[in-house]
Amino acid sequence: MTERDPSASRRTAVVVFAVGVTCALHIGKLPVAIPVLRDALSLTLVQAGFLLSLVQLAGMTLGLAVGLMADRLGPRRVMLTGLLLLSAGSAMGALAPGTPLLLLSRVVEGVGFLLAVLPAPGLLRRRVLHAPTLSRALGWWGAYMPLGTALALLMGGALMGQVGWRGAWVALSVLSLCSAVLLARSVAPDALSVAAKSLPAAAWGQRLKRTLAAPAPWWVALAFLLYSGQWLAVIGFLPTIYAQAGHVAAAVGGLSALAAGINMAGNIGAGRLLARGVRPGVLLAWGFGAMGLGSVIAFGASGHPVAQYLAVLVFSGVGGLIPGTLFSLAVVLAPGEDTVSTTVGWMQQFSALGQFTGPPLVAWVATQAGGWQSTWWVTGASSLLGLLLAGRLQAVWRRRT
């Protein structure tokens, strides 16, 4: 039975998606652990911001290189290497005696995370040969991050209450090892193409040059930066904000998980709306507009907790239209068919840059202001710039289609 068979294709797609979700748990474990870590290791709020964002250091520096490496060595091989590194980084964090080694462990986790998830769409394209299943699988792939983050936020508090934060780190290390075994047993080894083996280094350079010389990949990448930085900053610090407000751990986990998980609705909805003919610029405008308005209410309407939380749900849920739309635009606006992966890698680098800079910047503003009430200036400015980029991307898309 091959991947052309619908049932075999579905099994492969489910395994790859499940691996992505387990990787996202390593991103989501930090927000719920920050209050515990601040007590255990005397973390400052800015250090906590860097713990949230350091996992993105590899992504913002190596996205293009990993994309090219996956094409050269095969996506399955690169993903397995990433899962092993992710496991090693989590184990290192569990043994960290203080903040410096914990920060370093997040860098290792970041490299593993990048290697494990960036090649996944390429692996799906190679192995899921049943076309309808492939379309659905690629649509769902965009939701692996909010689902994994939501699960970590929902269950992380209870797990850490039972085994402590170090025990939770060990548990996720073991889970990554199990994911590597599952992927190795469920997906056949990579068969490198003759073209990939023989492609000279100069050809890789030309591909990079063509991608970076075109304006569209830059607009897509910048839009992803503006989205990802503010989303992780708000969702990442949500447990800390609610814990400081005196909410019990169960409520903190549940409220934060729903805020992260609802992002899936926008991701999946974007693909359906685009298929029905809604213009990408309109979806981007809706997304950035909702994030801007939602953050203003969430951080500026003090004394109205219900309205603030509903604003967070709008911020995350409608904001989810942005990544789903940008992944589709990256495919359409790439300079050529042979530069699609390179364009996606470039977009991923800027996404990681946004996630690296967003949380520390918001934490710094909150520290300077003595509270979270002024942080909407950061998210609001990002959304305003995103609206400008939405118009630019719509114009470029109209010329290309």
Q: Could you report the per-residue pLDDT of 40-76, keeping only the tens digit for each? A: 888 787 788 777 777 777 888 888 888 777 767 888 9
Residue 14 CB neighbour total at 10 angstroms: 13
User: Contact at 8 Å (CB) between 318 and 28?
Assistant: no
- Max mean pLDDT among 18-22, 124-128, 344-348, 359-363 falls in 18-22
Instruction: Output 337 or 333, whichever has higher pLDDT.
Output: 333
Q: Which residues contact 146 (CB under 8 A, 6 or more apart)?
A: 24, 260, 261, 262, 263, 264, 267, 316, 320
Instruction: Output 345 or 53, whichever has higher pLDDT.
Output: 345
Q: Which residue has the tokens 């359409």?
A: 332
Instruction: Output 134 or 18, whichever has higher pLDDT.
Output: 18
pLDDT of residue 46: 78
Is the predicted pLDDT of residue 180 greater than 90, yes or no? Answer: yes
Is the predicted pLDDT of residue 15 greater than 90, yes or no? Answer: yes
Query: Quick one: pLDDT band at residue 158, thresholds 50, 70, 90?
Result: confident
Check: pTM over 0.85? Answer yes or no: no
Question: Can you say whether the dihedral through the CA atoms of 216, 217, 218, 220 is positive or negative?
Answer: positive
pLDDT of residue 194: 44
pLDDT of residue 226: 95
Instruction: Output 218 or 363, whichever has higher pLDDT.
Output: 218
The answer to which of 35-44, 240-249, 283-292, 374-383 has the lowest mean pLDDT is 240-249
pLDDT by residue (tens digit) across 310-332?
Answer: 999 999 999 999 988 887 787 77
The answer to which of 21-30, 91-100, 256-265, 288-297 has the lowest mean pLDDT is 256-265
pLDDT by residue (tens digit) across 240-281?
Answer: 777 776 776 667 778 888 888 899 889 888 877 887 888 999
pLDDT of residue 273: 85
- Max mean pLDDT among 35-49, 326-340, 350-364 falls in 350-364
pLDDT by residue (tens digit) across 188-245?
Answer: 887 654 445 555 555 667 777 888 888 999 999 999 999 999 998 888 788 777 777 6
pLDDT of residue 249: 65
What average pLDDT does this structure show over 335-361?
A: 81
Euclidean distance between CA atoms 147 and 329, whole angstroms: 23
**Domains of the chain listed by start with CATH number:** 1-199 (1.20.1250.20), 200-401 (1.20.1250.20)
What average pLDDT does this structure show over 27-44?
A: 84
Mean pLDDT, the chain, integer: 84
What average pLDDT does this structure show over 94-98?
A: 90
pLDDT of residue 1: 43
